[in-house]
Structure formats: structure tokens, C-alpha cells
Copies of this chain bind each other. A is one copy, B any other.
Amino acid sequence: MPENRQVVIAMLPTGPLKAYDFELRSAELPVPGDGQVRCRTLALTIGAGQRAGLQGSASYAGAPVTGVVMGGTGVAAVDVSNAPGFAVGDIVVAPTGWQDYSVHDAARLQKVHPGTDPALQLGVLGTNGLTAYFGLLEVGRPKPGETVVVSAAAGSVGHVVGQIAKLRGCRVVGVAGSDKKCRILTGELGFDAAVNYKDPDFRDAFKAATPGRIDIYFDNTGGDILGSALFRMNVHGRIVCCGAVSQYDTNDPGPGPRGIPGLLVNNRVRMEGFLVFDYLERYGQAREEIAAWIRDGQLVPRVTEFRGLERAPSAFVELLGGGTIGTTIIRVA
């Protein structure tokens, strides 16, 4: 009988996350009840935002606890079905968590086309891509010719934001954490410019890369990059607050950026937070549009893959340290 390997939260991290904050354990296979389905995980995605869920205070996902399976979204194959509409072998996207097998009420599963690569399903066609799509288009509302700046630009959301902004006729500047990432952004993904925030001359380089200032700043980082962007906003600019990765891998998030609220007033800037779940009923239409862009070669999705469930903790550490590009995927089976 197969085992159910699980990656469990062993300790709540107090500083930067360590792989040993998790442990691998073996559990019995869960048994689905009536109306439930058991799934075998094929692939998982990890996002930097999950680190925020491990901080002491409750995020929108609730307060973290130890001894439980680390949460996460996966692509899985139906293994046992006690629910009408699901057959063994069906491929679903599910809140599998970091484990081989999981049981779900049928209502929590989303059946997907079996031929689609799980990395695309979880990345650009999943929450990451949808976050980029709705955040940029619905919150940022780009107009042709505007300058869009995106931070964590080589990340799962950022690299899609930049490419959609190009499709909408904008000038796009990415901020990322290495020269290699910057080269990929401008050389392979069509960004007009990219700036390495670890460069000692970052502020000057950032200024030089935004000669017409900034109309939309898509913020995945918070912190100092948000602070720099605030001082470069155009009148009636928009700041799309998507994430705050600079504040995640710590239990002591710093103070907010200077210039709030003064700069927002002087330049009549709108700064707006959003969660993609608020756009649930429009996911289908957005996925179709994104899939068409990929098919036409107008949007190039990037993925960093790791093989083996046991590598999920170290992949998460690498992601938080800036070592991955695009969507981070763990191939489980």
C-alpha cells in the first residue's frame, strides 16, 4: 500500500525561513467520505505570499499553527471518487497541501483539461497569472503610452504583469534582484528596461529608467522599492498593492514608506490593495484571453521546477531568497 508523504510545519519561523522549519512525515492514506474525492498530487506551486501565512499574526488566511500539513495549491489526479461528476484519472486543481494524497469535497475541486502542463495550470493560468491580469487591468487600468513599473518583476506574478502591460501598449520597467533576472526581462520577455534593486546605484538607475515618471506601479514587494516608486509617481498615478514580499521573510516588518499620505495627496495617487479571489466569477474569461496570448506567442510564461515533494521546503527557501524565476513548481509525481 502506498504511503502518504506529508510536509508538516514543524516550527513557525522567527527570522528568515529555514528548510528545517518543516519536516517530512509519513501518514496513512486518507479515506474519502460520501461526496468526497481522493486526489494524488502531481505538482505543487509555491508563492512568496505563503511566507506571510507563517507570520505570527493572522493574514487573510487565518493564523498559522504547527504540526499541520503545509498548505498549497496543486494539480492532482483523482484516485478514488465518491462524488458524481468525478472519475478516477480526472485531473483537478485542488488545495492539496504539500502531500501525496488529499481528500476534498467535490465542490472544492476544479476539473481541468488533462493535456495542459501542470506548470501552466498552476502558473500563468492559475492564481499567479490571474492575479497579474486582474491587478493590472482592473486595479491599475493602464492606458497606451503610460509607464508601468513592476517589482519582483521576474516573479510568478511580475513577469506576467509586465508582458500584459506591453500588450496594452505601455512602456514597462521591471525591478528585480539580480542582473541575470534583469537580462531575462529585457532580453526574453520584452520589458523596455529593468533595474536591479540590489545595485548600490539603484535610486539613480531607477530614476534613469523612468524619465517620464510612473503612471502605474504594480507593487509585489512593499518596503524600499515602494518607497522609491512613491517619489516617482505621476499626477493621478496608481499603485496596485498586490504583495509585500520584502515584509514576509521576517517577524518584524518595518514601518511604512515615508511620504504617505503626503505624496498621495500632492500627486492625487490612488493606492489600492486587491485579492484575486474577488474576481472569481471572471476567471474563465481571463484564462481564455491568457491562453490565447500564449498560443500566439505574445506572452511567454516562465517556470522554475523542482523534482520531489521532499524538495518543497528548500525550494521555498530558494524562492524567498530570490533564486527562482517565474512560477515555482514542485513536480511531485
Task: Select one of B219, B257, B272 contacting A256, CB under 8 A.
Answer: B257
Give the segment of A20-28, A205-213, A273-281 that binds chain B. A273-281
Task: Select one of B222, B261, B278 contacting A262, CB under 8 A.
Answer: B222
Q: Any chain B CB within 8 A of the CB of A244?
A: yes
Contact status B265-A242, CB under 8 Å: yes
Q: Any chain B CB within 8 A of the CB of A164?
A: no
Residues in B whose Cβ lies below 8 Å from that of A274: 265, 268
How many A residues touch B, CB cutoff 8 Å?
36
Q: Closest Cβ of chain B: how far from A20's Cβ, in Å? A: 26
Residues in B whose Cβ lies below 8 Å from that of A241: 261, 264-265
Q: A256-B255, A266-B60 are in contact. Are A261 and B244 (CB under 8 A)?
A: yes
Measured in the bound complex, the distance between the Cα atoms of B265 and A59 in whole Å is: 10
Q: A255-B255, A255-B256 are in contact. Are A267 and B262 (CB under 8 A)?
A: no
In the complex, residue of chain B having the shortest beta-carbon distance to the beta carbon of A239 = B261
Q: Of A242, A244, A269, A275, which is in contact with the most chain B CB atoms at under 10 Å from its CB?
A: A244
In the complex, residue of chain B having the shortest beta-carbon distance to the beta carbon of A274 = B268
Q: Any chain B CB within 8 A of the CB of A258?
A: yes
Contact status B259-A256, CB under 8 Å: yes
Residues in B whose Cβ lies below 8 Å from that of A185: none
Contact status B265-A269, CB under 8 Å: no
Measured in the bound complex, the distance between the Cα atoms of B241 and A243 in whole Å is: 21
Q: Closest Cβ of chain B: how far from A270's Cβ, in Å? A: 4
Residues in B whose Cβ lies below 8 Å from that of A256: 255-261
Contact status A271-B268, CB under 8 Å: no
Measured in the bound complex, the distance between the Cα atoms of B52 and A268 in whole Å is: 16
Residues in B whose Cβ lies below 8 Å from that of A219: 261
- Within 6-48 of A, Cβ neighbours of B (below 8 Å) are at none
Measured in the bound complex, the distance between the Cα atoms of B241 and A266 in whole Å is: 10
Which are the 3 A-B pairs with shortest beta-carbon distances?
A256-B256, A264-B273, A256-B260
17 pairs of residues in contact across A and B, judged by CB atoms under 8 Å: A60-B267, A219-B261, A241-B261, A242-B265, A243-B265, A244-B262, A253-B258, A254-B258, A255-B258, A256-B259, A256-B260, A260-B271, A261-B273, A268-B272, A270-B270, A271-B272, A272-B272
